[in-house]
C-alpha cells in the first residue's frame, strides 16, 4: 500500500520520538532526520535535499558514500572483516606503510575512534617519559590547553575546561596541567617542570568554535618542546587529512607548500613528534584511527602493554588506504585551500553588512561565523541555534557550538559552483535572521 502524504509528514517526528524514548539524551541534535547521502548532499526521510556543512565533524572529507569507498567496503566485507591482533592479516601492513609514507613517520599504531587514539598517545607519552626521559615513576605530566576537546573518556575529560564535560564524572585522572591556548609564554613556563613528558594540543580548536591560533604558535611550540625534551603531540582528528587546506593543520605555520596527498616536509625539526588521526581517515565509512610517531617513541609499546581487538582490522585498513588515495587523486588539499579562501571572503561580506555577524575565521574548509545573540522585536531569541534552523529550512545543515558560533565544514569534494550556491543560502538566511 502506498504511503500517504500525511504518513510522510510524520516520519520525521516518529523517528525523533523513537530516539528520544529509547536513546540516551546525551546530544541535542538539530531537528532533521537524515536518511541518505551522496557527495556533498544529504536527504531527510521526507526526501528533502540539503547541503551538509558539518561533514560529521570533518569525518566525511571525501563526501558521503564515495563510490570508491563503497566498492572497497563491499569487496572486503565478502572477504574478511576482523582477525583481532592475535594473528597477522594481509592488509594491516599495507595500511601501515601507506600511512607512514604519507605523513613521514616511522611507525603507526591503529585504533578505532579518536578518543582511543588520544588515550593511546597519552599512554605512549607517559611510558616514554619514564623509560626515555627518566621521569620518576608516577610523576609524568602532560600539558594541555584551555578550551581543548580531545574526546569524552574519563581521562580525557580530566583535562577539559568545559563544565558540561566534567560535571558529575569525578574523581579525575591526575597528571595534567592546563595552560591558555595560543600563549607561548605560558607554555614556556609550564615546560620548565622537568617532569613534563608531553604537550597535547589541537592545531586549531574545532569544538571551541574553530579557534585559530597565530601563524607562528605551532612552530614556536614545537621548538620549545624540542628544547625541553618534551613530546609535541598534535591532535589532528578534526583538522587533519586536507580539512584546513594542508594535509596536516600543524603545517600551517611552517610555510607548507606540499602538493597533493603526501607530506613532503624535509625539515623534521618543524614537525610534531606524535600525530593523532581519525575521522576522515576512513572517509566516514568505518571507525579508524591511528597514532603516528618515530620508532624511538613508539617502541616503548611491547606485547601486552596496549592493544585493541578491532584496531587494525582488514575492513578499516582497506578503507583507510582508499580514503587517503582519494585525497591525493582528487587533490582535496588544494581544493580545500582555494575554496576556503573564497568562502571566507563571501562570509566577510556578511560581517561587513550585519552588525550581529561579528567575525569569520578558519583555515581551508574548516570555518566559523560568530553570531551575537540578541532578542527580536517580538521578544523571540536570535541565537546561532535559530540561525541554524533557518539554514536548515533553506537547504543547508550546520550546527552551533558554544551558543554563538556556527561551524561550517562541507565535504572537501565540494565544487566552486556548489560552494557559491551555499554562500547564497547562508546570505539569505542571515538576511531573514536580521
State CA 94 to chain mean position distance. Answer: 24
Domains of the chain: 5-62+332-433 (3.90.1150.10), 67-329 (3.40.640.10)
Does pLDDT of 232 surpass 80? Answer: yes
Q: Comparing C-alpha atoms, which of 239, 288, 250 is closest to residue 108?
A: 288
**Pick from 287-301, 305-319, 366-380: least confident:** 366-380
d(CA 28, CA 244): 27
Strand pairing category for 231-235 and 196-201: parallel
Interval 164-181 mean pLDDT:
94
Interval 398-408 mean pLDDT:
92
Which is more confident, 366 or 209? 366
Cβ neighbours, 10 Å, residue 88: 10
pLDDT score of 424 = 98
Interval 355-368 mean pLDDT:
96
C-alpha to C-alpha distances, 138 to 129, 228, 334, nearest whole angstrom: 10, 19, 45
Tens of pLDDT, residues 318-351: 999 999 999 999 999 999 999 999 999 999 999 9
Q: Which helix (H) or strand (E) holds 370?
A: strand 366-371
- Burial (0-12, 13-18, 19+ Cβ within 10 Å), 89: middle
Interval 357-363 mean pLDDT:
96
Which is more confident, 254 or 395? 395
Q: Do the beta carbons of residue 26 and residue 6 sit within 8 Å?
A: no
pTM beyond 0.75: the answer is yes
Does pLDDT of 1 surpass 50? Answer: no
Quick one: DSSP state of residue 4? P
Q: Which residues contact 329 (CB under 8 A, 6 or more apart)?
A: 261
Strand pairing category for 357-363 and 274-277: unpaired
pLDDT > 90: what percent of the chain? 87
d(CA 99, CA 102): 5
Q: State the catalytic residues.
A: 149, 235, 279
Does pLDDT of 269 surpass 80? Answer: no
Interval 96-114 mean pLDDT:
97
DSSP string, 181-231: TT-HHHHHHHTTSTTEEEEEE-SSBTTTTSB---TTHHHHHHHHHHHTT-E
d(CA 235, CA 233): 6
pLDDT score of 5 = 54
Does pLDDT of 181 surpass 90? Answer: yes
d(CA 426, CA 108): 41
Q: Do the beta carbons of residue 383 and residue 343 sit within 8 Å?
A: no
Cis previous bond, 182, omega within 30: no
Q: Which residues pair with 235 in a beta bridge?
A: 276
Q: Do the beta carbons of residue 91 and residue 314 sit within 8 Å?
A: yes
Q: Which helix (H) or strand (E) holds 142?
A: strand 141-145
pLDDT score of 378 = 82
pLDDT score of 3 = 53
pLDDT score of 268 = 63
Amino acid at each position: 500500500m502506498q504511503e500517504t502524504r500525511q504518513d510522510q509528514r510524520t516520519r520525521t517526528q516518529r523517528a525523533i520520538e523513537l530516539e528520544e524514548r529509547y536513546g540516551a539524551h546525551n546530544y541535542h541534535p538539530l531537528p532533521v532526520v537524515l536518511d541518505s547521502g551522496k557527495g556533498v548532499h544529504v536527504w531527510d526521510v521526507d526526501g528533502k535535499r540539503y547541503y551538509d556543512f558539518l561533514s560529521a565533524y570533518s569525518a566525511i572529507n571525501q563526501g558521503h558514500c564515495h563510490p570508491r569507498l563503497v566498492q572497497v567496503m563491499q569487496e572486503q566485507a565478502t572477504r574478511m572483516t576482523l582477525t583481532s591482533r592475535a594473528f597477522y592479516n594481509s592488509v594491516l601492513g599495507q595500511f601501515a606503510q601507506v600511512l607512514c609514507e604519507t605523513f613521514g613517520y616511522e611507525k603507526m599504531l591503529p585504533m578505532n575512534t579518536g578518543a582511543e587514539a588520544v588515550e593511546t598517545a597519552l599512554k605512549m607519552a607517559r611510558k616514554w617519559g619514564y623509560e626515555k626521559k627518566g621521569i620518576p615513576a608516577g610523576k609524568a605530566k602532560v600539558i594541555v590547553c584551555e578550551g581543548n576537546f580531545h574526546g569524552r573518556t574519563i581521562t580525557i575529560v580530566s583535562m577539559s575546561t568545559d563544565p558540561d564535560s566534567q560535571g558529575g564524572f569525578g574523581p579525575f585522572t591526575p597528571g595534567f596541567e592546563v595552560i591558555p591556548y595560543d600563549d607561548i609564554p605560558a607554555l614556556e613556563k609550564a615546560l620548565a617542570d622537568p617532569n613534563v613528558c608531553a604537550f597535547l594540543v589541537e592545531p586549531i580548536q574545532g569544538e571551541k568554535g574553530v579557534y585559530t591560533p597565530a601563524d607562528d604558535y605551532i612552530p614556536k611550540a614545537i621548538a620549545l618542546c624540542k628544547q625541553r625534551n618534551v613530546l609535541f603531540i598534535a591532535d589532528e582528528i578534526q583538522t587533519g587529512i586536507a580539512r584546513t587546506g594542508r594535509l596536516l593543520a600543524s603545517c600551517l605555520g611552517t610555510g607548507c607548500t606540499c602538493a597533493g596527498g603526501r607530506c613532503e616536509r624535509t625539515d623534521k625539526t618543524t614537525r610534531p613528534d606524535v600525530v593523532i588521526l581519525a575521522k576522515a581517515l576512513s572517509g566516514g565509512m568505518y571507525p579508524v584511527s591511528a597514532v603516528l610517531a618515530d620508532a624511538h617513541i613508539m617502541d616503548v609499546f611491547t606485547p601486552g602493554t596496549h592493544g585493541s581487538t578491532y584496531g587494525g582490522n582488514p575492513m578499516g585498513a582497506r578503507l583507510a588506504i582508499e580514503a587517503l588515495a582519494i585525497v591525493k587523486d582528487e587533490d582535496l588539499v588544494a581544493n580545500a585551500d582555494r575554496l576556503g579562501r573564497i568562502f571566507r571572503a563571501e562570509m566577510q561580506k556578511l560581517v561587513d553588512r550585519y552588525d550581529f555577524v561579528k567575525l569569520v575565521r578558519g583555515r581551508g574548509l574548516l570555518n566559523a561565523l560568530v553570531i551575537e545573540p540578541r532578542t527580536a522585536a517580538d521578544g523571540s531569541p536570535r541565537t546561532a541555534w535559530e540561525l541554524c534552523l533557518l539554514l536548515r529550512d533553506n537547504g543547508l545543515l550546520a550546527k552551533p557550538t558554544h551558543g554563538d558560533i556556527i561551524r561550517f565544514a562541507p565535504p572537501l569534494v565540494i565544487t566552486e559552483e556548489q560552494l557559491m550556491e551555499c554562500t547564497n543560502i547562508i546570505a539569505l538566511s542571515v538576511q531573514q535572521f536580521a
